[in-house]
Amino acid sequence: MRLNRSGYLIREGFRSIGTHGFMSFATVTIIMACLIIMGSVTLLSLNIDKVIKDLENQNEVVAFVDESYTEESARALQGAIEGLDNISTVEFVSRTQAFDTFMQSYSTDLAEGLDDQVLRDRYVIHLTDIARMAETKTALEGIEGVAKVKAHLDYARTFITVRNVVSVVSLALIVMLMFVSIFIMSNTIKLATFGRREEIAIMKMVGASNAFIRLPFVVEGLVLGILGGGLGFLAEWGIYEVLTKKLVGSVAGIFTVVPFAQIALPMLIAYMAISVLIGAFGGVNAIKNYLEV
Amino acid sequence: MVEMNNVSVVYESSGTEALDNVSLSIKEGEFVFLVGPSGSGKTTLMKLITGEIRAKSGKIVVNDFDMRHIKRRKLPKMRRTLGVIFQDFRLIENMNVYDNVAFAMRVVGARRKEIKQRVPYVLDLVGLEGREKRMPNELSGGEQQRVAIARALVNNPRMIVADEPTGNLDPVRSLELMLLFEKINEMGTTILVVTHEKELVNALAKRVVAIDNGHVISDGEGGYFDYEIE
């Protein structure tokens, strides 16, 4: 295909967007709407996952040091604990600190007359993966000087179950929505080209090759796809920012949300890839039947 | 130009035999009217020539292309040797007169300079000079059909195939159009016109091929149209 002819066909694609203004608008709107719905479910599931992870992180393991150990020798155990697999953070809490915390949490009457050395030195430990809590507990118990390990294995199991269920449900929803979106977007493009079957028939009759007929539709589909994807991405960003600001305001200090900037690039890539593919292949697929004359 | 030998067409969906052993020859530079009642097979014959359908049996050659065995990707090349005109004009509504005609040249990859020279010449030939910027809905039926003729002519085809071109026109415009076809034919282009218009056929006194029930029932020079159309 000669260069001047390709230029003409690309211009034709752009011109056609303006000529069929309403259908172009409908196509872009549908692509936008589908991507926003799909994106919102993805963002929701990402945030649920983050909340669960935050809660998991609050589920700490406490390793009590043998009473016979001095504070100095108790502190010396930190290296051995940190050297274990699946350890995220380790914080040493001395007997005195533990007693102060106890006093703040409970009635001071209860502790009246108690020695501030009555509690044991301990380590507050956060794990990387709470699914491996049981094996980490055993490993901690194996360190000489660790007298007892307190780990809420039942909580951990609950979190893991919730997280797995959320992941499976989210994935199923996203895949389902993706198929529904692809179906709706393809049909919108099909509808847009249905009104132009006469035009295609005329092109065929004056001797246009299939490639000549197809290229403007591909250009048109690509441009509409990029527009729909780009606008959908910006709209999603705006909606997310507004909603999360309100949410953060109401649950401040309890949960944090995934910042949009953190997921903006993969989301933009996904939006553009889906909309461009749908646009271009949708355009080609939509006119396929009209070309068989 | 067009050579048909024992051509048969059966529509598989309905089992209808639209053409049965039709043989017909149209030579370079001829002007031929194809007449016959509705459902006689005229449109099927036209579609065979334009490559919209394929024959079940027999041999059909159009402008040196074997239409029974032509590959789909070769069809555009074959169609560029034809100029096709329809009863309903089939102009692209959102293109002006100039672009409707220029479009047919762009399709075949003509250069901008060639298009700028050729389109005004053809529009002048069909009597549409000064109407280049008009949109199809701003033109009369006769003018729209002239645009369609200009579009069919612009690539200098070997043959013009017109399916009921005067079906939507009044008698005066119809005669004007036929005279325009005659003028084009005198310039060397072969013309095949499918029509119902008895007066027009007789007025031009050309070769008339009558078809009924899928068979050629008469074929003669001199424009005598004695076949009664329903």
- Tell whether B75 and B164 lie within a shared domain: yes
B40 and B141 both lie in a single domain: no
Chain A interface includes B79 (CB < 8 A): yes
* Whether residue B230 has pLDDT greater than 50: no
* Residue B53 domain-assigned (yes or no): yes
Judge whether B163 lies within some domain.
yes
Q: For residue B143, tell me if it sits in a domain.
A: yes
* Claim to verify: residue B61 and residue B169 sit in the same structural domain: yes
The encoded tokens of residue A93 equal: 């809490």
- The verdict on a CB contact (< 8 Å) between B109 and A2 is yes
**Chain B residues closer than 8 Å to A5 by CB:** 106, 109
- B50 Cβ under 8 Å from any chain A Cβ: yes
The residues near A21 (Cβ < 8 Å, ≥ 6 apart) are none
B88, B94, B135: best mutation site toward chain A, by most A Cβ within 10 Å? B94
Place A64 in a pLDDT band, splitting at 50, 70 and 90: very high
Residue B86 belongs to a domain: no
* Residues of chain A with C-beta less than 8 angstroms from the C-beta of B106: 5, 8
CB within 8 Å: A212 and B107:
yes
Do B35 and B97 share a domain, yes or no?
A: no
The average confidence (pLDDT) of chain A is: 82
Residues of A in contact with B79 (CB under 8 A): 204-207
Contact between B155 and A207 using a beta-carbon 8 Å cutoff:
yes
Q: What is the ipTM of this complex?
A: 0.81
CB count in 10 Å sphere of residue A169: 13
A163-174 pLDDT, tens digit per residue, is 788 888 888 888
Domain check: are B43 and B141 in the same one? no
Tell if the CB–CB gap between A5 and B109 is shorter than 8 Å.
Answer: yes
Any domain includes B175:
yes
- B109-150 pLDDT, tens digit each: 888 899 999 999 999 999 999 999 999 999 999 999 999 999
Instruction: State how many domains chain B has.
Output: 2
Q: Hey, what's the torsion of the CAs at B107, B112, B118, B123, to 10 degrees? A: 80
| Same-domain status, B149 and B136 | yes
Q: Are residues B37 and B75 in the same domain?
A: yes
Do B150 and B167 fall into the same domain?
A: no
- pLDDT above 90 covers a percentage of chain A that reads 15
Q: Where do you find CATH 3.30.70.3040 in chain A?
A: 60-151
Interface-testing mutation among A22, A206, A213, with chain B (most B C-beta atoms within 10 A):
A206
Residue B137: partners with Cβ closer than 8 Å, 6 or more residues away:
B93
Domain membership of residue B195 (yes or no) is yes
Rounded CA-CA distance B147/B131 in Å is: 10
Does domain A60-151 fall under CATH 3.40.50.2300? My reply is no
Instruction: List helix spans (H) across chain B.
Output: 42-50, 75-79, 97-107, 112-125, 141-153, 171-186, 198-204
The answer, for B151 touching chain A at a CB cutoff of 8 Å, is yes
Structural domain span for residue B109: 91-156
Phi, then psi, of A270 in degrees rounded to 5: -65, -45
Q: Do residues B102 and B205 share a domain?
A: no
Residues B90, A208: C-beta atoms closer than 8 Å: no
Judged against a pLDDT cut of 60, whether residue A1 lies above it is answered with no
Assess whether B68 and B135 both reside in one domain: no
Are B90 and A202 an interchain contact pair (Cβ–Cβ within 8 Å)? yes
pTM: 0.66
CATH number of the domain at B29, please: 3.40.50.300
For tokens 């589909």, the residue is: A221
Residues B167, B59: one domain?
yes
**Residue B114 in domain:** yes
- Asked whether residue B225 falls in the same domain as residue B171, the answer is yes
Q: What is the pLDDT of residues A142-195, one digit of tens each?
A: 999 999 998 887 777 787 788 788 888 888 888 887 787 777 777 777 776 777
Say how far apart CA A72 and CA A88 lie, in whole Å. Answer: 23
